Amino acid sequence: MAGVASGTTRTTSQEVIVIEAELYAAIRRHFFVDHWKVGTIADQLEVHPDTVKRAISAERFNASRTASRKTLTDPFVPYIQEILERYPRLRATRVYEMVHARGYSGSVVQLRRVVRSLRPVPTREAMLRLKTLPGEQGQVDWASFGKVQIGRAERNLNCFVLTLSYSRALWFEFALDQTLESFLRGHIRAFESFGGTPRELLHDNLRSAVLERRGELARLHPRYLELAGHYHFGPRPCRLARGSDKGRVERSIQYIRHSFFAARPFITLAELNAQALAWRDSVAHLRPWPGGDGRTVAEVLAEEQPYLHKLPQHRFETDALMTVRSGKTHYVRFDSNDYSIPHTFVERDLMLSASETTIRILDGNTEIARHVRCWDRRQTIDDVAHKEALLASRRRALRTEGKTLLSQAVPQSEELLNATFQAGEPHARSVRQLETLLRLWGAQPLCEAVAEAMRRGTPTVASVHVLLEQQRRRSRRTVPRPLDLGDRPELEALHVQTHSLEDYDELTNNEDEE
């Protein structure tokens, strides 16, 4: 080639250009690859040293540019550069408004080209493809799926996802909260589904797992550490602001969101989780393994399972425990709902245990009440036995304390008061109303009205009052007026037992016979 370059004469300019290009390529190869000096290259190729220097200079490979013509955007380029350095994501339309106010008369299309060429390009960190060994790592995360309506309550729908990094097998279940207890339950069910635990679980700064973070140091939740000790895995938080560290569970969440949850109808949470399990086994685990050797995720999971750590003999306890205090009524409150307890435990400190389906109330180690958990809000959950026991204690209290003035005058009033209490009427108010009717109407009319109300199946004080008014209209009596005994309060408790007039008739007949 050297002989051609120095001693051969070419007749066309195209051939000279080809030879020159080959010569320049040879010069650069000897200089940058073989590390020859400039003089050595000039001697071997029989060219001038200046030719060698021009060939190895960077200018040779920069396309020569003619002086560009001036445009309307030229005066504004320094201003646009300054704006984009301060606000790299500022839209071109907004830049157009700003330069237009400063005298720019060109089009927005032309300005867009300038903004595109001047906008700083963020440097992205290159991702390293990581390979994990079977049974080595799993990745955990919560995902939000909007809101659902349960009764009058609107609750967040969340999804717990755990993905095995090697096989990409996944476990996911939906929950109505992101509490620590739901987080722990998700781990346990995932471990039981896989038949073991990986050696390490990777998670981000979830409140369920990380209490505090200082740089790369993290203080984990004690209950989460208990779970890790029970199932023998190592919890490892991701680096700060590095969601890519757990990219496999992030991709699983997107897969669930678009391939399972989108446009899927469901009525209850249990139904949704049943559909999720069926879809995982019939669709997600039968997809091709991302490792790319023709196997499915289920087949690779079967290969990975022997490397998972075996499950312990006993399951980890995940119920939430808290101290609650009952008030004057026989209820304790949890999650905005009231749950009944036996009336003998009012105004006491008790222990409440809450699972996702059951509420248990304990006095020490003794369970005193159990209810199905309600996910609605502001509801009252009653045990019929608790209310019946309370009513029975009220009856016993009345018998123990003796007959009151009302029960002496109207014996059937006790039955009426029990019925009003079962209907939800305040007991004390019903007693006061009946005592007022007793003072106004007397014992005999009130007895008749109470008996008639019980016979009709309308055991309320209002019904008794209506019946008394009907009696008055039939007998054409005037409306009784209450007596003012303010100056003689001792007479308010005075009661005279009325008797049937037939007794007086019988006495009169006996006197006539004598």
231 and 282 both lie in a single domain:
yes
The larger pLDDT score, comparing residue 4 to residue 322, is at 322
pLDDT number for residue 492: 53
What does the pLDDT look like over 320-343, one tens digit per residue?
888 999 888 889 999 889 999 998
- Both 142 and 31 in a single domain? no
**pLDDT, average across residues 222-233:** 92
Range of weakest confidence among 33-37, 247-251, 306-310, 459-463: 33-37
- β-strands 331-334, 337-340: how paired? antiparallel
Per-residue confidence (pLDDT) for residue 397, from 0 to 100? 62
* 155 and 264 inside one domain: yes
Residue 266 lies in a domain: yes
Closest to 437 measured CA to CA, from 394, 486, 402, 472 = 472
What pLDDT shows up at residue 232? 92
Most confident stretch, 123-127, 251-255, 478-482: 251-255
Across residues 135-141, what is the average pLDDT? Answer: 93
Contact (Cβ atoms closer than 8 angstroms) between residue 195 and residue 167:
no
How confident is the model at residue 244, as a pLDDT? Answer: 61
CA separation for the pair 341, 349 (Å, rounded): 12
**Per-residue model confidence as pLDDT tens digits over 34-77:** 888 888 888 888 888 888 888 887 444 444 444 456 888 888 99
Overall number of domains in the chain: 5
Q: Is 250 a domain residue? A: yes
Do 152 and 282 reside in the same domain of the chain? yes
- More confident of the two residues 275 and 150: 275
Any domain includes 462: yes
The answer as to whether 131 is a domain residue is no
pLDDT at 177 over 70: yes
Residue 214: φ, ψ to 5°? -135, 100
Concatenating the DSSP letter of every residue in 394-457 gives: HHHHHHHH---HHHHH-TTHHHHHHHHHHTT--HHHHHHHHHHHHHHH-HHHHHHHHHHHHHHT
154 and 245 housed in the same domain: yes
User: pLDDT, tens digit, for every residue of 7-32?
Assistant: 333 333 333 333 477 888 888 888 88
The secondary structure element, H or E, covering residue 109 is: helix 108-118
What average pLDDT score do residues 109-137 get?
78
Percent of the chain with pLDDT over 90: 31
Q: What is the pLDDT of residue 66?
A: 42
Q: Does residue 97 fall inside a structural domain?
A: yes
* Between 505 and 207, the higher pLDDT residue: 207
Residue 150 bridge partners (DSSP): 153
- Are both 163 and 236 inside the same structural domain? yes
Structural domain of residue 197, as residue ranges? Answer: 137-307
If 0-12 CB within 10 Å is exposed, 13-18 middle and 19+ buried, where does residue 399 land? Answer: exposed
The tokens for 428 are: 């004390």
- When the pLDDT of each residue in the chain is averaged and rounded to a whole number, the result is 82
Burial status of residue 420 (CB atoms within 10 A of its CB: 0-12, 13-18, 19 or more): buried
| Bridge partners, 159 (sequence order) | 143, 174
Residue 223 and residue 185 share a domain? yes
For position 508, what pLDDT does the model report? 62
Residues 246 and 374 in one domain: no
Residue with the bigger pLDDT between 117 and 3: it is 117
Q: Are residues 296 and 332 in the same domain?
A: no
- pTM (two decimals): 0.55
Give the mean pLDDT of 372-389: 88
Percent of the chain with pLDDT over 70: 81
Mean pLDDT of 282-307: 92
